[in-house]
Amino acid sequence: MKKEIIKEILKKNLKTISNDDFNGKIIQQLDLSKNNEKPVLFGQKSMIRVFLVISLLILIVNSISIGKLPLQTLIIGITICISPFYFMIFNKIYKASIQNY
């Protein structure tokens, strides 16, 4: 059978949804889910950003005021500073896993 013929037969034999409000129900559900999200003063992203900026500032001020910091302190400080990145990475992995479902 030719490609066009198969396509035509398939098109003709598609079943249609009898519910007239099918699209409306879907769109309504989408809006409801948006309304369910309660407004917050600080979002997750902004909290992580603020934490990053503050910890970086503390690290810089400390290194300027105290002078040379011991390597161990510096490593601990940097590890704490970059810790919010882990949440961002976990979020990315979670999003990718949803897409791969």
Partner 1 sequence: MSKELVIKAKNGDIQALNKLINNHKDLAYSIALKHLKNKEDAEDVVQNSFIIVLKSIKSFRNEAKFSTWLYRIIYHECLKELKYKKLTVEYKPQFFDIEDEKIDINKEASFKNIFKVLKPNEYTVISLYYLEEKSTNEIAQITSLSKSNIKVLLHRARLKMKKAANNNIKNEKRNYKRDT
Binding residues for partner 1, rule: CB under 8 A, are 1, 3, 5-19, 22-23, 25-27, 29-30, 33, 95, 98-99, 101
- Closest CB to partner 1 among 65 and 99? 99
Q: How far is the CB of 1 from partner 1 (least distance, A)?
A: 5
- Closest CB to partner 1 among 23 and 83? 23
Residue 74's contacts (CB-CB under 8 Å, 6 or more residues apart) are 63
Q: Which of 100, 41, 52, 42 is nearest to 78 (CA)?
A: 52
Q: How far is the CB of 92 from partner 1 (least distance, A)?
A: 11
CB half-sphere exposure, 29, CA atoms < 13 A: 6
- Closest CB to partner 1 among 1 and 71? 1
Which residue carries 């882990």 as its tokens?
86
DSSP state of 69: P
